[in-house]
């Protein structure tokens, strides 16, 4: 049975990711084709509290599918973490006769969505996974992950040239506060000599043994990909390695926020379009409280609480493969 939804609002929250604009476009255009009007909320949950609302039409989302970032802007709102902030946000939705809210973001965004729903007597909220980290349960891919991987690969390929020319071992820090997906998959793609992820305790001695073995095999340069969330950290790992191998050149490169920007890849544009389109239809069919994802190529719906439970575990088999391929 169709749920009576005539007006929805949309916001992006947390760290921006390439493809968020494509997702907004898909939601707006899918809604319009279902005769649902759309309100854009600027600056994420903070804009919901401050009532930064703008009407969105089909033309408002023209020419944005290829643009990185989010034209609705984003924030990590402290006020929305309080029940008073959320009450204000809910009141604003009521005052504007908004029937449902679409949120695009990562685990913090869905945690906020879950609280808003629980405290408002089940107000309809639906989520799209927008984060470069790919750390959500209930989707094989998050919007922005593929683009971020490609950005890392292009950057590390360049670093590899310098590493090879000067016989340097580079420790390249990639994003992923709690998750090693970016590190693992970019590491495989660049043929990294080692990959350090937060899901494992880094064994610096084993790393040194591996670098020494590589040197004996005339691999005089190397790339060690270190996830931002590694418990020791790229700089400290490099320092400890250098201490034991003082005659070898080592450098640390932090790729940082270049990983969050740039034009979304084809994969991310398609994913964002599919998820945005599906979200509108799921709402119309009277379901919400879920993150819309894709599993084995099919659209999936996962309750917010489950999506953020951190059960999307890293494939240790892939890590082992990467290590065997880098001997």
The three-state secondary structure class of 148 is helix
CB of 131: closest distance to ligand F6P in angstroms?
A: 5
Q: Assess 176 for contact with ligand F6P (CB under 6 A).
A: yes
CB of 298: closest distance to ligand F6P in angstroms?
A: 26
Phi, psi dihedrals of residue 158, rounded to the nearest 5°? -70, -45
CB of 200: closest distance to ligand F6P in angstroms?
A: 18
| Choice from 6, 177, 231, 316 touching ligand F6P (CB under 6 A) | 177
Tokens at 119, concatenated: 């405290």
The closest of 292, 257, 297, 294 to 68, measured between CA atoms, is: 257
Q: Is 133 a catalytic residue?
A: yes
| Choice from 13, 92, 109, 131 touching ligand F6P (CB under 6 A) | 131
Q: Starting at the earlier edge strand, list the strands of the sheet with 168-174.
A: 194-196, 222-227, 168-174, 249-254
CB of 37: closest distance to ligand F6P in angstroms?
A: 31
Evaluate whether 134 touches 179 at the Cβ level (below 8 Å): yes
What DSSP designation does 248 have?
S
Residues 205-264 binding ligand F6P (CB under 6 A) are 228, 260
Identity of the residue, 260 or 284, whose beta carbon is nearer to ligand F6P in the bound complex: 260
Query: What is the number of other CB atoms lying within 10 angstroms of the CB of residue 59?
Result: 8
Name the active-site residue from 99, 107, 133, 135. Answer: 133
Q: Assess 133 for contact with ligand F6P (CB under 6 A).
A: yes
Q: Assess 146 for contact with ligand F6P (CB under 6 A).
A: no
Query: What is the number of other CB atoms lying within 10 angstroms of the CB of residue 36?
Result: 19
Just list the catalytic residues.
133
The residues binding ligand F6P (CB under 6 A) are 15, 106, 131-133, 175-177, 228, 260
């Amino acid at each position: 049975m169709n749920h009576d939804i005539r007006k929805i609002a949309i916001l992006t929250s947390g760290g921006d990711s390439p493809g968020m604009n494509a997702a907004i476009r898909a939601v707006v255009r899918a809604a319009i084709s279902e005769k649902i009007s759309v309100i854009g909320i600027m600056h994420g949950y903070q804009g919901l509290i401050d009532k930064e609302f703008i009407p969105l039409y089909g033309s408002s989302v023209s020419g944005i599918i290829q643009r990185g970032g989010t034209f609705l802007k984003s924030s990590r709102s402290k006020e929305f973490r309080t029940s008073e902030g959320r009450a204000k946000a809910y009141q604003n939705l009521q005052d504007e006769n908004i029937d449902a809210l679409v949120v695009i973001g990562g685990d913090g965004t869905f945690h906020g969505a879950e609280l808003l729903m629980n405290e408002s007597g089940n107000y309809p909220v639906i989520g799209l996974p927008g984060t470069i980290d790919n750390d959500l349960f209930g989707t094989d891919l998050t919007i922005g992950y593929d683009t971020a991987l490609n950005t890392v690969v292009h950057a590390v390929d360049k670093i590899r040239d310098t590493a090879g020319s000067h016989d340097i071992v580079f420790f390249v820090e990639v994003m992923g506060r709690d998750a090693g997906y970016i590190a693992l998959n970019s590491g495989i793609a660049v043929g990294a000599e080692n990959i350090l992820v937060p899901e494992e305790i880094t064994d610096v001695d084993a790393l040194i043994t591996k670098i020494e073995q590589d040197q004996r095999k005339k691999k005089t340069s190397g790339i060690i990909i270190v996830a931002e969330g590694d418990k020791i950290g790229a700089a400290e790992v490099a320092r400890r390695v250098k201490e034991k191998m003082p005659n070898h050149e080592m450098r640390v490169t932090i790729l940082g926020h270049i990983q969050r920007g740039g034009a979304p890849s084809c994969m991310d544009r398609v994913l964002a379009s599919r998820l945005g389109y599906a979200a509108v239809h799921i709402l119309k069919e009277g379901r919400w409280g879920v993150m819309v994802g894709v599993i084995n190529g099919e659209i999936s719906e996962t309750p917010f609480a489950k999506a953020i439970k951190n059960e999307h575990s890293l494939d240790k088999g892939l890590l082992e493969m990467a290590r065997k391929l880098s001997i």
